[in-house]
Amino acid sequence: MRHVISLLIENESGALSRVSGLFSARGYNIESLTVAPTEDASMSRMTIVTTGSDDIIEQITKQLNKLIEVLKVVDISEAAHLERELMLVKVRATGKDREEIKRTADIFRARIIDVTDTSYVVELTGNQGKLDAFLSAIDPALILETVRSGVCGVGRGDRVLKL
C-alpha cells in the first residue's frame, strides 16, 4: 500500500540524512521525499511517499518518531488529504509541435514559463496522476528534460500537523 507520511523535524544539518539513512538501513522504500523549512525557520517539514504493508508502515512511523530531531509524524494518507507535485518539462518546440504543445499545456492548465525559438519550459502542478498524464499526452521524442519536485501533502480541513 502507498502511504504519504508528513513530519516536522528540527531544521539542522544532517537531519535529512538521519531520515534517509533510516529508510535505507531498514530496507524501507522511498518513492519520493521533499523537505523545506516551514513558516518557523527552525523547523522543516518533510513529505515522504512510501509503500509497505501495515506492519511496515507502523514500524516506519515508530522508527521516525524515535529519531531525536523529529518533532511529529503523521500518516496523512490515513484520511482525506491533498497531494501536489510541481513539474518542469523542457520540450523541443518547433514547427507544428509548437502549437500542439501549447494546446496540450492549456488543457492541463499548465503554464509555459520559458520560450526560445526551439523550446518551451512547461510548468505543471497537480497530483502525481495528472503529471503522469501530461507526460504521456505529449510525444516522448520531444521531451528534453523532466524535473519533478516529489509530493507535498497536507491533510484536509481540521487535520493540522503543527507543534
Partner 1 sequence: MVLSGAEIVIRCLQEEKVEYVFGYPGGAVLYIYDALFQQEAVRHILVRHEQAAVHAADGYARSTERVGVALVTSGPGATNAVTGIATAFCDSIPMVIISGQVPTAAIGQDAFQEVDTVGITRPCVKHNFLVKDVRDIASTMKKAFYIARTGRPGPVLVDIPKDVSMHTCEFEYPKEISMRSYNPVVKGHSGQIKKAVQLLLEAKRPMIYSGGGVVLSNAAEQLTKLTRLLGYPITNTLMGLGGYPASDGQYLGMPGMHGTYEANMSMQFSDVLLAVGARFDDRVIGVPAHFAQELRKIIHIDIDPSSISKRVKVDVPIVGDIKEVLEEMIRQLESGEARPNPEALAAWWKQVDEWRSRNCMVYKNSDEIIKPQFVVQKLWEVTGGEAIITSDVGQHQMWAAQYYPFDKPRRWLNSGGLGTMGVGMPYAMGAKLAHPDMQVACVTGEASIQMNIQELSTCKQFRLPIKICNLNNRYLGMVRQWQQLFHGQRYSESYMDSLPDFAKLAESYGHVGFRIDKPCDVEGALREAFTTHKNDLVFLDFQVDQTENVYPMVQGGKGLTEMILSAEDL
Nearer to partner 1, 9 or 35 (CB): 9
Q: Return d(Cα 83, Cα 89) in angstroms, integer.
A: 19
Nearer to partner 1, 44 or 128 (CB): 44
Does 127 engage in binding with partner 1 (CB under 8 A)?
Answer: no
Nearer to partner 1, 17 or 51 (CB): 17
CB of 110 closer than 8 Å to CB of 85: no
Window of 5-13, 86-94, 109-117, 121-129 that interacts with partner 1 by CB under 8 A: 5-13
Main-chain phi, psi angles of 35, to 5 degrees: -150, 140
**Interior CA angle at 95 toward 94 and 97, to 5°?**
70
What is the smallest separation between the CB atom of 71 and partner 1, expressed in angstroms? 5
SS3 78: helix
Q: Return d(Cα 129, Cα 134) in angstroms, integer.
A: 9
DSSP 81-118: EEEEEEEEEEEE--THHHHHHHHHHHHTT-EEEEE-SS
Q: Which 7-66 positions form the footprint of partner 1 (CB under 8 A)?
A: 9-10, 13-14, 17-18, 21, 25, 55, 58-59, 62-63, 65-66
What is the smallest separation between the CB atom of 10 and partner 1, expressed in angstroms? 6
What is the smallest separation between the CB atom of 63 and partner 1, expressed in angstroms? 5
Rg of the chain, C-alpha, whole Å: 19
Enumerate binding residues for partner 1 (CB under 8 A).
9-10, 13-14, 17-18, 21, 25, 55, 58-59, 62-63, 65-66, 68-71, 163
